[in-house]
Amino acid sequence: MAIKDPVTEMPSLRLLRALYRTLDEDLAACFRYVEPVGEHALTYSIEFMRLHAQACMGLGSLLDLWYKRLTRDDPAKKAEPNIGDYHFIFDDGSVQIDRGRTLNVRGSPGYLVTPFHGWRKVAPPTWWRDYNDTKHHFTLATFRLGNLDNALNALAGFYLAIHDWRTLRTHPLDSKVFEVMT
């Protein structure tokens, strides 16, 4: 069965869009203190760690929502899928998330993020692995993974996933952090 309008057919998507808007505003506010340029990519803080974790949580929840919607009649679907199990969603005809899309960080010409570039089913993006390292093994070393670059990539991933081809046309979200490259 085709999905006519994800935003109306999947009510939880509205909540995830609200989460995205909040995280987008919070990260944009950080730019008052840390300029979003490549030289500051590894700058870490509690706020960047929080944004990184919450953007990954939102993305994971969104991918899980799509997974359940797309596999609801599939007897082989997993009860507890992992990030690799979501890989097919990007190419599904109902969703079509552009894995190669690049976003420009507003106010920082040349700071480009392509959060899903190189993602393979068996090898998720580095920023996703860093999120899991921080989530499961919080130490001073993993705290440093809560950096600007990981926060930007995680939020960019969330932004792109929330903008599947249909939703981008019917319910686009503005971003204070990103500009879509054409």
pLDDT digits (tens, 9 = 90+) for 13-24: 889 999 999 999
pLDDT digits (tens, 9 = 90+) for 33-44: 999 999 999 999
Q: What is the pLDDT of residue 173?
A: 86
Q: What is the pLDDT of residue 8?
A: 64
Let me know if 169 is exposed, middle or buried by CB neighbors in 10 A (0-12, 13-18, 19+).
exposed
pLDDT digits (tens, 9 = 90+) for 93-135: 888 888 889 999 998 878 999 999 989 888 999 999 999 999 9
Does the structure show a pLDDT above 90 at 148?
yes
Is pTM, for the whole model, over 0.85?
Answer: yes
Q: What is the pLDDT of residue 5?
A: 60
Domain spans, the chain: 10-72+81-180
Cβ–Cβ < 8 Å for 115, 153: yes
Residues pairing with 113 in the sheet: 103
